[in-house]
Amino acid sequence: MAINSSKKITELDFDDIRSNLQSYLESQERFKDFDFNGSGLSILLDLLSYNTHYSAFYTNMAATEMFLDSAVKRESVISHAKQIGYTPHSRRAAEARIQISFASSEADVIIIPKYTRFTASVNDVDYTFYNTQPVTIDSSGTAPYVSDAFSVYEGSLSTVSFTFNSADPDARYIIPSQTVDTTHLKVNVIESLYDNTGSNDVWTMVNDITDLDASSQVYFLNENTLGFYEISFGDNILGKKPSDGNVIIIQYLQTSGPNANGIGRLDSATNRVFSTDLDGTVSVVSSSVGGALKETTESIRTNSPLFYQTQNRAVTKNDYMSLTLSEYGDSDDVVVFGGEDYDPPQYGKVFVCIKPSSGGVLTEDEKQDVIRDIYASKSVVGVIPEIIDPEYTYLLFNSTFDYDETLTTKSILQLRAEILTYLSLYASTALSKFGKNLYVNKLEELCRNLDPSLLYVDVDVKLQKRITPVLNKVQNYTIKYYNTILNTAHDAEDGINGPPAVQSTNFAYKKPDGTIFLAAIDSDMNGKLRIYEEVNGIRNTIFSNMGSIDFTNGIVTINNFSPLSSTRDGTIRFNVTPREDVVKSAVNNVITFDPTVTNSINVMYKQTSSTSESGY
């Protein structure tokens, strides 16, 4: 049978559908003299077109939701992830490490019960933390009696209970909170409302069904289509099934997630951040970190196939990356490499570098928690996982621009603000990940595209590295920029005494005669470092031969350095200019931007027809 060429079925837009239907009818002998736009047939055409358009749209939408890669609705993505054994992570409670001391005790042992309440107030917002394990303090000696450091988690405790009924096919055991942290669930099953037998038996969440039998007291956790987490139980084959009439008690922690990060940073002997009803003083060992929001739909789409590939084991680099991203909620980015690629090589190890969403690096306690809870039971025997800190290279921008005022109604200040905002946005989104390089020429092109009136935008970049020195102790320091360094001392107009290739922030230092002075480090034209004192705008050398610059390999070496102070965050910062227009990132190095640094972005209007510059 021949195909009628007038039947076009490739277009799905309403206007195209209507046009195709009209063309088809006009081609029929019976309707050739009809005015389709001016008669009642127009309404029928609209009706048929709407019906076809709706059907095509919903068919296309249903087909789209059938696949993980193309699904749009969160419930569809969750359903696909569930099929491959992936459970999206919930919110994560911020964790702080604290100590508590008592001035006296009437007993030889002080016990801080689990779920003791600790409170903190930040910007008039109250936060509550709980310890999830009891803490024991030996008080048989001399006061004060100080506990070991222990963890407390932010949130509020809640409990919900259900009666198990196997005859009810619609029974669901749903945790009624969108802010629950599922890593702190406690599930108990007791005999009945009148018999609490089993109250001390804690049921655990299933991580590996290969370890299950008919008596395993476990539960399964999933996110349902409404975004709530619900638990289910075994069938007396894979996991124990509760009996009819048993009462299921779920205790859970509702948390504010990342809002509670950073609590405790200002803790001091004269200003304690945490308080408690106990007759003791709470001090902060490490401020709260790790608070995170519920996993996003895009994160589920990315992580669930990777998690499936790991098969609940850590063998390859991708396994470690997938496990970290899926099970550690505060991870923003992860890079993994074998010990053979380390400098110097350390065979038998795998190095995991985690960039957290909150803060710059993980605390030692967080590292040990990740190794113990995520890697220990999944890694290969004989391979030791080790978490290392990411290195950060901070960008400083100095930009100039000119524009044609006849092509825009915007002022110089408005254009300057647009360029400044875009530079900050670009550095924090297009960069700030492992393996992301900065292409300066591309960035300049993107800035020029912000407005058709911009004639040019020139972006000069400086790289900043930070060291955390041990104060008042002589040490050597090696700073790696992973990029060639420009010797700017040769760029002066007269050919001599140009700006130094390395410039540090200020710090306190001691002169040979014991006098304390405000010092800084810079370099001469040969790349030799010195410590100088600036008096009336003149830099006077106090210590020479303090180190050198390897311009080719991008390494600054500082010798016999013993500062007495640093900046407020405990660092001393060193700025250099890269020689190339491509700033490369090393394997565990992140090129990023710190908006808290004063003058980290400078944007100036500079007319191309004049050598004068505007201060705007």
Closest CA to 300 of 95, 85, 93, 92: 85
pLDDT digits (tens, 9 = 90+) for 148-162: 999 999 999 999 999
Dist. CA 362–CA 351, nearest whole Å: 14
Least confident of 113-117, 229-233, 267-271: 267-271
Q: Are the beta carbons of 127 and 121 closer than 8 angstroms?
A: yes
Distance from C-alpha of 447 to C-alpha of 457, rounded to nearest angstrom: 6
Whether residue 522 contacts residue 529, with contact meaning beta carbons closer than 8 Å, is answered with yes
Residue 2, pLDDT above cutoff 60: no
193: left (phi over 0), alpha (psi -120 to 50) or beta: alpha
- The CA-CA-CA angle for residues 298, 300, 303, to 5°, reads 105
* Widest CA span in the chain: 111
- pLDDT at residue 5 above 50? no
Nearest 5°: phi and psi at 386?
-135, 135
Is the CB of residue 49 less than 8 Å from the CB of residue 16? Answer: no
Q: Could you say which DSSP state residue 271 is in?
A: B
pLDDT at residue 609 in the model = 55
Query: Are 277 and 117 within 8 A, CB to CB?
Result: yes
Cα 357 from chain centroid (whole Å):
2
237: its two tokens: 């084959």
Give the Cα-Cα-Cα angle 493, 486, 550 (nearest 5 degrees). Answer: 130
Cα Rg of the chain, angstroms: 32
**What is the pLDDT averaged over residues 303-309?**
81
What does the pLDDT look like over 219-257, one tens digit per residue? 999 999 889 999 999 999 989 999 999 999 999 999 999
Q: What pLDDT is recorded for position 496?
A: 53
At residue 613 the predicted structure's pLDDT band, cuts being 50, 70 and 90, is very low
Long-range contacts formed by 418-423: CB under 8 A, 24+ apart: 418/450, 418/451, 419/447, 419/450, 419/457, 419/603, 420/601, 420/603, 422/446, 422/447, 422/450, 423/397, 423/399, 423/447, 423/459, 423/601, 423/603
Helix axes 317-327, 297-310, angle to 10 degrees: 140
**pLDDT greater at residue 539 or residue 610:** 539
Instruction: Give the pLDDT confidence of 454-491 residue by residue, as tens digits.
Output: 999 999 999 999 999 999 999 999 999 999 999 988 76
- The architecture that CATH gives domain 311-389 is 2-Layer Sandwich (3.30)
Residue 11, pLDDT score = 61
Confidence of residue 305 (pLDDT cuts 50, 70, 90): confident
Cα–Cα distance for residue pair 483/330, rounded to 1 Å: 30
Top pLDDT among 65 and 556 is at 556
Neighbouring C-beta atoms of residue 198, cutoff 10 Å: 18
How sure is the predictor about 390, in pLDDT bands with cuts at 50, 70 and 90? Answer: very high
State the alpha helices, DSSP H only, in 27-151: 41-64, 74-83
Strands in 164-257 per DSSP E:
173-174, 180-190, 202-205, 218-223, 229-233, 247-254
**The one-letter amino acid at 22:** Q
End-to-end CA distance of the chain: 75
Q: How far apart are CA 307 and CA 209, in angstroms?
A: 16
| Choice between 8 and 414, residue whose per-residue pLDDT is larger | 414
β-strands 582-583, 384-388 pairing: unpaired
From the list 402, 405, 437, 396, the residue with the least C-alpha distance to 416 is 402
Omega of the bond prior to 176 within 30 degrees of 0, cis?
no
Question: How much is the average pLDDT of 117-124?
Answer: 90
Which of 205-219, 432-446, 557-571 is least confident? Answer: 205-219
Structure confidence by residue, pLDDT tens digits, 314-365: 888 888 888 888 788 778 899 998 888 887 888 889 999 999 887 788 888 8
Q: How far apart are CA 579 and CA 33, in angstroms?
A: 76
Band of pLDDT at residue 509, cut at 50, 70 and 90: very high
Spatial distance between the Cα atoms of 185 and 324, rounded to a whole number of angstroms:
20
pLDDT at residue number 495:
45
Average pLDDT, the chain: 87
pLDDT (0 to 100) of residue 492: 53
pTM to 2 decimals? Answer: 0.70
Cα–Cα dist 331/289, whole Å = 11
- The two tokens of residue 26 are 């006009």
Region 246-273 average pLDDT:
92
Rounded to an integer, the average pLDDT of 419-440 is 91
Mean pLDDT in residue range 536-551: 94
Smallest Cα–Cα separation from 184: which of 252, 258, 127, 116? Answer: 252
CA distance 176 to 161: 11
Q: Is 394 helix (H, G, I), strand (E, B) or coil?
A: strand
DSSP string computed for 472-521: TS-EEEEEE-SS-B--GGGGSTTSSS---S-EEPPEEEE-TTS-EEEEEE
The H-or-E segment that residue 412 falls in is helix 412-429
Residues 6 or more apart whose Cβ sits within 8 Å of residue 481: 393, 463, 465, 554, 555, 556, 576, 578
Estimate the share of the chain in helix, then strand, then coil, as percent rounded to the nearest 5: 20, 35, 45
CATH 3.30.300.200 intervals, the chain: 311-389
Please give the Cα distance from 121 to 317 (Å, whole number): 41
> Are 416 and 403 spatial neighbours (Cβ–Cβ below 8 Å)?
no
Hey, what's the torsion of the CAs at 552, 556, 559, 561, to 10 degrees?
A: 170
Exposure letters 260-280 (e unless 16+ CB within 10 A, then b): bbbbbeebeeeebbbebeeeb
Q: What is the pLDDT of residue 281?
A: 93
Rounded to the nearest 10 degrees, how much is the dihedral formed by the CA atoms of 472, 476, 482, 484?
Answer: 100
Please determine, for residue 614, whether its predicted confidence score (pLDDT) is greater than 70.
no
User: Per residue, what are the HEC states of 304-373?
Assistant: HHHHHHHCCCECCHHHHHHHHHHHCCCEEEEEEEEHHHCCCCCCCEEEEEEEECCCCCCCHHHHHHHHHH
Identify the pLDDT of residue 491: 61
